[in-house]
């Protein structure tokens, strides 16, 4: 068992890595689900919890909800530091995969 999986459930680690390690990015629910390999129903609950806790921001763009890192969160720096040390490479892969998909559209 890795340190990252001990600290965070697998899907939470992937979601946090995707959004917190790339605070300039915002993603909608289905995009996050596709990039992290999670189920949209589970993800909706998780994203809502993280937004209510202040870790993520939730913004409505048209009829979509966009989620992004909340850099004003009291523990933002600490969380990103832990994620960078424990799962930074995985998050880079997810973001690169997103860029590849957008390039083929």
Let me know: does 20 contact 83? Beta carbons within 8 Å: yes
The total of structural domains in the chain comes to 1
- Whether residue 59 lies inside any domain: the answer is yes
Task: State which residues of the chain have pLDDT below 50.
Answer: 91, 93, 104-105
- b/e code 68-95 from CB counts within 10 Å (16+ = b): bbbeebeebeebbebbeebbeebbeebb
- Whether residue 62 lies inside any domain: the answer is yes
- Whether residue 81 lies inside any domain: the answer is yes
- Whether residue 102 lies inside any domain: the answer is no
Express each pLDDT in 91-101 by its tens digit: 454 555 555 55
- Whether residue 17 lies inside any domain: the answer is yes
The predicted model scores a pTM of 0.78
Which residues constitute the domain of residue 76?
10-87
Question: In the prediction, which pLDDT does 13 show?
Answer: 87
What whole-number distance in Å separates Cα of residue 10 and Cα of residue 4? Answer: 8
- Whether residue 44 lies inside any domain: the answer is yes
| CATH assignment of the domain containing 57 | 1.10.10.10
């Amino acid at each position: 068992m890795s340190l990252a999986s001990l600290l965070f459930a697998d899907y939470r680690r992937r979601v946090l890595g995707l959004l917190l390690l790339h605070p300039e990015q915002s993603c909608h629910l289905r995009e996050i689900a596709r990039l992290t390999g999670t189920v949209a129903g589970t993800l909706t609950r998780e994203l809502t919890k993280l937004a209510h806790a202040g870790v993520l921001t939730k913004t409505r763009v048209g009829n979509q909800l966009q989620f992004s890192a909340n850099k004003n969160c009291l523990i933002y720096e600490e969380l990103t530091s832990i994620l960078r040390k424990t799962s930074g490479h995985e998050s880079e892969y997810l973001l690169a995969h997103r860029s590849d998909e957008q390039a083929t559209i």
